[in-house]
Amino acid sequence: MNRPKIVILGGGFAGIECGKALAKVDADVLLIDRQNHHLFQPLLYQVASAGLAAPEIAHPIRSIFNDQDNLTVRMEEVASVDLEARQVKTSGDLIDYDYLVMATGVKTGYFGNDSWEKHARGLKSLDDATAIRRDILLAFEQAEACDDPAEREKLMTIAVVGGGPTGVELAGAFAELARHVLQRDFRHIDTDKAQIFLIEAAPRLLTMYDEELSNYTERSLTEMGVTVLVDTPVEELREETVQLGERTIEAANIVWAAGVEAEPWTRNLGVETDRGGRIIVETDLSIPDHPEVFVAGDLAHCIDQSGTRVPGLCPSAMQMGQHAAKVIRDEIEGKTGKNYKVRRQFRYFDKGSMATIGRSRAVAESMGMKFDGFIAWLMWLFIHLLFLVGFRNRIAVLMQWFYAYVRYRRGARIITGMGNTP
Amino acid sequence: MNRPKIVILGGGFAGIECGKALAKVDADVLLIDRQNHHLFQPLLYQVASAGLAAPEIAHPIRSIFNDQDNLTVRMEEVASVDLEARQVKTSGDLIDYDYLVMATGVKTGYFGNDSWEKHARGLKSLDDATAIRRDILLAFEQAEACDDPAEREKLMTIAVVGGGPTGVELAGAFAELARHVLQRDFRHIDTDKAQIFLIEAAPRLLTMYDEELSNYTERSLTEMGVTVLVDTPVEELREETVQLGERTIEAANIVWAAGVEAEPWTRNLGVETDRGGRIIVETDLSIPDHPEVFVAGDLAHCIDQSGTRVPGLCPSAMQMGQHAAKVIRDEIEGKTGKNYKVRRQFRYFDKGSMATIGRSRAVAESMGMKFDGFIAWLMWLFIHLLFLVGFRNRIAVLMQWFYAYVRYRRGARIITGMGNTP
């Protein structure tokens, strides 16, 4: 057999871990991503809320693999995958593979209401984050110059749709930005009057957490000045308007954190997917009838060996990436065949999960224990610094946080990309 | 007399210093800028060459004046000024003034060859810098995927036009980026073979410096791998092509650092300007027949009291801003009239100037002394950190430089704003 060709699609947590775990395998590994950087998504909301600079939470993918000779990185967009021909088609090329790991993650999804996309920005890339930062800072600038009270109120209103971790983190960060950071900046408007709405269709925030933590989160956000609306499905999004049954919220900025779905190209694979387009995998993470193709990370709909539905979190993505790499390595090294039943089966190790609400406030669950408040917040800080890729980024982020904590400021509140403004 | 209204146009070095120097004056000061941030232009080339993140060299203008109650900031674009009616017209408003300080600086100028603009990006704003960073990193990505040798060579060629401080700093930084930082990132291309051209029409680089320092600069850049072409005027710019007499350079990236000119609205003022549109001022920095209107910074064409033509540098902009403020203050406090001859006259205090070439290499002139090499580089570091606005930015930049020096890396080499790509 020739030296096998392994293609990894996506340089997120799953793809990076998969690539690293293939370091000692006698194969040619190609990692394809449409960006040149690995993005530390858990801190993306801090770029959107002017707390961190974009480069501080990103790391060039090439630099992660500088010393791994068997892996090549290519920056290209995936157009389609032909499972029968074992080929990946990118914008410019056809690439053969012996093994394929699909780890392209998910994008913002609007439950089929595609027209909503132009009224509410999602938060998936650095460009999304700097655009949200720009639009929110710009709205406060416009409010400062505005004489019409109704217009001014709208400019100072931010609606966050979706009460999961991202929505909670965004709403908390926006409240702090308006009430503490921007407070001293303006002469005509009182940013304390800025309204931040957090809108969730389910009966409580953070539905995957223990109810006690949901309650703590709602209480904390309310204290911080966020108007939390649970049990409140969004009926319709129009320009600068959120329609909730009878109630209408006028907001210059609407951020969508309510749903994700797979990229369109996954729909043409001819494999079974769930409603969000996630690919349903076997317990070894391969797809039915294609033992040479694996799915890892948010793109996988996976019930693991113990019957647990694997959640869409960073630790699960990392574990799945590593697992796919191990199965491929076993097979290349002759330890198993293509029969998925004799392969290693994936078992998700639940280390817990956490969400931050604001300064000194967070919630965390781990190993059956619950934490909230300052202790959860310290855990959150520690874990995020630990997993952030790149020593330089860690120091920079630590420094920014320390400064933000001591001085209650956010240093990245600059408006860029004005050429972009619609 | 009512409380006088002072309007400052521009939040660069001149405008900020002018605003600060008016802190104790009994007047209403309004500072207008089209950006929300003061930009530390001397380090802009480091954003363009992936050494620093954009927010690290910018500081919100509002935050500079948080504690100065007599000053209000407005983010708006200036459309025109009516000197007779004493009104500034912005995108949305008409603003009356008693005193006006015009300090909007200059933009990239192409000596009347307006069609060149689309082939060679200038470097004046954060968006310019991140666009240059994106385009250069993207070209290396494309080169890595490219099979055609001629195309690959073009993708790996950067032409910098203009051998002043900005051109020298850019060329040096691009050479380091290609030869040291990106070197380990790619598998197929050898970034050591990247070609960096620095093109200057005059017989030597840094013409305003002593010839010895020009020679040192040329020698250093050549050692670093830059092809320096002096005595070489650009005849024509076409897409990815620089025409130099007989010689043609094909370069995927062309950066223009050869000229600046005033914004178009200054041409309709009805006042005398020089060829670049700079406004010719009296020695008190007011304009003829309008003792209530001052020009400060790069927008001013000023021969000072001692007969020196004031250069377009940060220290001169700061001094001019402060001077205009003092003249206004004197008059408001009844110490002088509108007769420009009895007012304070501006005298430029030349602290010297400096340019960095690369790691451990710079040139500086001050008080008749010349410095080059490591000592000039240390002076450059120290002075730039000292004048960078914002404590947090200083710490962040110091940290990045230390890391860059020790590890020879540039942390901000991420590609963003792809939606922008032409």
Using CA coordinates, name the residue in chain A closest to B37.
A414
pLDDT for A386 equals: 84
Give the span between the Cα atoms of A64 and B185, in whole angstroms: 9
Residue whose tokens read 């008059």: B331
Chain B interface includes A419 (CB < 8 A): yes
Task: List CB contacts (< 8 A) between A118 and chain B.
Answer: none
The pLDDT mean for chain A works out to: 92
Tokens of A318: 């990392």
pLDDT, mean of residues B363-372? 92
The band of A385, judged by pLDDT with boundaries at 50, 70 and 90, is confident
> Which of A414, A415, A421 should be substituted to probe chain B, the one whose Cβ sees the most B Cβ atoms within 10 Å?
A414
Contact status of A53 with chain B (Cβ, < 8 Å): yes
Read off the pLDDT band of A357 (50, 70, 90): very high
Chain B neighbors of A392, CB-CB under 8 A:
399-400, 403, 407, 409, 411
If residue A279 lies in a helix (H) or strand (E), which one and from where to where? strand A279-280
Q: Is A271 helix (H, G, I), strand (E, B) or coil?
A: coil
User: What string of DSSP letters covers A92-132?
Assistant: S-EEE-SEEEE---EEE--TT-GGGGGTSB---SHHHHHHH
Choose from A374-378, B82-86, B266-270 the range with maximum mean pLDDT: B82-86
Please report which confidence band the pLDDT of residue A403 belongs to, taking 50, 70 and 90 as the band edges. Answer: confident
Q: Do A414 and B60 touch (CB under 8 A)?
A: yes
Q: Is B49 on the interface with A (CB under 8 A)?
A: no
Q: What is the mean pLDDT of residues A156-179?
A: 96
**B169 among known catalytic residues:** yes
What is the full DSSP assignment across A335-379? Answer: S--S-GGGSPPP------EEEEEETTEEEEEETTEEEEHHHHHHH
Output the pTM of the full model.
0.91
Q: Does the structure show a pLDDT above 60 at B422? A: no
Catalytic residue positions of A? 169
| Burial (CB count within 10 angstroms: exposed 0-12, middle 13-18, buried 19+), residue B242 | buried
Chain B touched by A185 (CB under 8 Å): yes
Q: Which amino acid is at B28?
A: D
Spatial separation of the C-alpha atoms in residues A249 and A251, rounded to whole Å: 6
* Alpha carbons A325 and A101: distance in angstroms, whole number: 9
CB B204 within 8 A of CB B215: yes
- Token output for A346: 């994936």
DSSP codes joined into one string, B380-414: HHHHHHHHSS-HHHHHHHHHHHHHHHHH---TT--
Which residues of chain A does B35 touch, with a Cβ-Cβ cutoff of 8 Å? 414-415
The larger pLDDT score, comparing residue A202 to residue A407, is at A202
pLDDT digits (tens, 9 = 90+) for B402-415: 777 776 667 678 88
**pLDDT tens digits for range B291-306:** 999 999 999 999 999 9
Q: How far is CA B19 from CA A12, A66, B318, in A?
A: 46, 49, 11
Lowest mean pLDDT across A10-14, A411-415, B33-37, B319-323? A411-415
Of A4, A2, A9, which Cα lies nearest the Cα of A99?
A4
The better pLDDT of the pair B339, B193 is held by: B193
| Cβ pair A413:B60 closer than 8 A | yes
Low-confidence winner among B184-193, B250-259, B318-327 (lowest mean pLDDT):
B184-193
Helix (H) or strand (E) holding B81: strand B78-82
Give residue-wise pLDDT tens across range B127-179: 999 999 999 999 999 999 899 999 999 999 999 999 999 999 999 999 999 98
| pLDDT at site B388 | 81
Please list every residue in chain B whose beta carbon sits closer than 8 Å to the beta carbon of residue A93. 145
Residue scoring higher pLDDT (A333 or B393):
A333
Polymer length in residues for chain A? 422
Residue in A closest to B67 by C-alpha: A184
Residues from chain B contacting residue A186 (CB–CB below 8 Å): 62
**Which residues on chain B are in Cβ contact (under 8 Å) with A56?**
53
Task: Please state, rounded to an integer, the average pLDDT across all residues of chain B.
Answer: 92
Residue B223: phi and psi, rounded to 5, are -60, -35
pLDDT of residue B1: 58
Q: A56 — contact with chain B (CB < 8 Å)? A: yes
pLDDT tens string A326-345: 999 999 998 877 776 789 99
pLDDT band at A422 (very low <50, low <70, confident <90, very high): very low
**Which residues numbered 16-35 in B keep a CB inside 8 Å of some CB on A?**
35
Hey, is the C-beta of B422 within 8 angstroms of any chain A C-beta? no
| Residue recorded with tokens 């392209």 | A104
Give residues with Cβ within 8 angstroms of A341, minimum separation 6.
none
Region of poorest pLDDT, from A81-85, B194-198, B204-208, B379-383: B379-383
Select from B54, B60, B420 the Cβ nearest to the Cβ of A53.
Answer: B54
Comparison of pLDDT for A317 and B267, the residue scoring more: A317
Mean pLDDT calculated for residue range B16-39? 96
Q: Which residue has the higher pLDDT, B216 or A367?
A: B216
Q: Which of A31, A34, A43, A62 to probe the B interface (max B CBs under 10 A)?
A: A62
pLDDT of res. A419:
57
Given CB atoms, is A92 within the 8 Å cutoff of chain B? Answer: yes
CA angle A130, A131, A136 (to 5 degrees): 100
pLDDT band at A421 (very low <50, low <70, confident <90, very high): very low
Query: Residues B354, B380: contact at Cβ < 8 Å?
Result: yes
From residue B353, alpha-carbon distances to B40, B150, B171, B364 in Å are 16, 40, 19, 6
pLDDT range class, residue B336, cuts 50, 70, 90: confident
Q: Which residues, at least 6 apart from A34, have a Cβ–Cβ distance to it below 8 Å?
A: A75, A76, A77, A78
- Amino acid at position B59, single letter: H
Question: pLDDT tens digit string along A241-297?
Answer: 999 989 999 999 999 999 999 988 888 899 999 989 999 999 999 999 999 999 999
Interaxial angle between packed helices B391-407 and B373-387, expressed in degrees from 0 to 180 and rounded to the nearest 10: 150
Q: Is the pLDDT of residue B242 over 70?
A: yes
| B416 and A CB contact within 8 Å | yes
Helix (H, G, I), strand (E, B) or coil at B341: helix
| Residues A174, A179, A181, A187, Cα dihedral to 10° | 120
What distance in Å separates the CA atoms of residue B216 and residue B88, rounded to the nearest whole number?
Answer: 47
Yes or no: say if A12 and A297 are a contact pair by the CB < 8 Å rule. yes
Task: Give A388's contacts in chain B (Cβ within 8 Å).
Answer: none
Q: Which residue of B has its CA nearest to A64?
A: B185
Specify the pLDDT at position B421: 35
Residues 329-368 of A with CB under 8 A from B: none
pLDDT at A420: 41
Q: How many CB pairs under 8 A join A and B?
A: 137
Question: Residue B401: which pLDDT band, with cuts at 50, 70 and 90?
Answer: confident
Whether B403 and A392 lie within 8 Å, measured CB to CB: yes
Query: Does the CB of B143 have a partner CB in chain A at under 8 Å?
Result: no
Best residue of B32, B36, B59 to probe chain A, by most A CBs closer than 10 Å = B36
Burial of A311 (0-12, 13-18, 19+ CB in 10 A): middle
- Looking at the partner chain, which of B35, B130, B418 has a beta carbon nearest the beta carbon of A415? B35
Question: Which pLDDT belongs to residue B389?
Answer: 75
Task: List the single best residue of B34, B38, B61, B62 to mutate versus A (max A Cβ within 10 A).
Answer: B62
Total count of residues recorded for chain B: 422
What's B177's DSSP letter? I
Q: Which residues of A touch B395 (CB under 8 A)?
A: 399, 403
Cβ contact A185–B60 (<8 Å): yes
Given the residues B169, B200, B282, B365, select the one marked as catalytic.
B169
Residues of B within 8 A of A144 (CB-CB) are 74
CB contact under 8 A, A396 and B392: no
Can you tell me the mean pLDDT for B170-197? 93
Percent of all residues in chain A with a pLDDT value above 70, rounded to a whole number: 97
**Spatial contact of B376 and B358, defined as CB atoms under 8 Å apart:** no
Nearest beta carbon to residue B145 from set A37, A74, A418: A74
pLDDT above 70 covers a percentage of chain B that reads: 96
Among B290, B71, B15, smallest CA distance to A186 is for B71
Q: Please state the rounded mean pLDDT for residues A48-52.
A: 92
